[in-house]
Amino acid sequence: MSYGFLDIARTPSVRAVQAEMGSAHVFDHFQGDRAFDAFTRHEMDFIAARDSFYMASVSETGWPYVQHRGGPAGFLTILDERTLAFADYRGNRQYISTGNLRANDRVALILMDYTRQMRLKIYARVEFLPVEAESALAGEVLSADYRARPERIVLLRLAAFDWNCPQHITPRFTEDEIIESLRGVRERLTGLEDENARLRAELALARRDNAEDRT
């Protein structure tokens, strides 16, 4: 079984560097235990939970361009085990990624889960679809609550994917994750505040009773 991602990534220059650094033998006869050209439920669940990704394209002059895309969790929609899509909303109107991908439809994505130190890499080919002409697909990828003008639908046809090791990924947490992690602390603080209020009330009552007894 081939290792789809490295089948694409191991260009002659990459192989030369691997040979220089003594790692070529690790990949020369690598046999994966499954295909890397179709998402499993594990990848689908991971993608569905992401609220951002990084997308790289290359211009006609050979310069790479990396763009960050963000939205509500699941905005990168899974259509099937080999197809993703997302709505391309109007931004700063530079259209660098769009122009690059019209000339060269190959794209690389990196999806990060900083909390769990996980990273998914994807190679894909891009197809642009008009929003109006794809009403059924638009219904799947457009967010009704997102106040921006969709200009096109970006269809991503999977070529290969791979998982990276967690090394050097610094854990980071979203606001929602921090709020959830502190839920127990907040509940404990609320309980302590209620207990303090009860004790203060009991102390005030005891002091009043003592004052009445002295009179």
- Please tell me the predicted confidence (pLDDT) of residue 157: 97
Q: pLDDT tens digits for 82-101?
A: 999 999 988 888 999 999 99
Q: Which residues, listed in sequence order, are joined to residue 53 by a DSSP beta bridge? A: 69
Question: In this structure, what DSSP letter does residue 113 have?
Answer: E
Residues 6+ apart with CB under 8 A from 43: 120, 161
**171: closest CA among 89, 112, 87?**
112
Kindly provide the b/e burial profile for residues 100-123, where b requires at least 16 CB atoms within 10 angstroms of the residue's own CB: bbeeeeebbbebbbeeebebbbbb
- Please tell me the predicted confidence (pLDDT) of residue 35: 66
Q: Which residues, listed in sequence order, are joined to residue 65 by a DSSP beta bridge? A: 57
Q: How many CA atoms lie within 13 A of 14 on its CB side?
A: 8
- Please tell me the predicted confidence (pLDDT) of residue 127: 96
More reliable by pLDDT, 183 or 39: 39
CATH number assigned to the domain covering 37-164: 2.30.110.10
C-alpha to C-alpha distance for 55 and 91, rounded to whole angstroms: 15
- Please tell me the predicted confidence (pLDDT) of residue 1: 47
More reliable by pLDDT, 175 or 134: 175
- Please tell me the predicted confidence (pLDDT) of residue 175: 85
- Please tell me the predicted confidence (pLDDT) of residue 184: 86
- Please tell me the predicted confidence (pLDDT) of residue 33: 60
Taking residues 124-148, report their average pLDDT. 84
Q: pLDDT tens digits for 1-16?
A: 456 888 898 899 999 9
C-alpha to C-alpha distance for 102 and 59, rounded to whole angstroms: 9
Cα–Cα distances in Å, from 174 out to 50, 95, 119, 127, 180? 11, 29, 16, 31, 10
Q: pLDDT tens digits for 34-66?
A: 668 899 999 999 999 999 999 999 999 999 999
- Please tell me the predicted confidence (pLDDT) of residue 176: 84
Q: Assess whether pLDDT exceeds 60 at residue 186.
A: yes
Q: Assess whether pLDDT exceeds 80 at residue 128.
A: yes
Q: Which residues, listed in sequence order, are joined to residue 161 by a DSSP beta bridge? A: 122
Q: pLDDT tens digits for 148-160?
A: 788 999 999 999 9
**171: closest CA among 123, 132, 113, 124?**
113
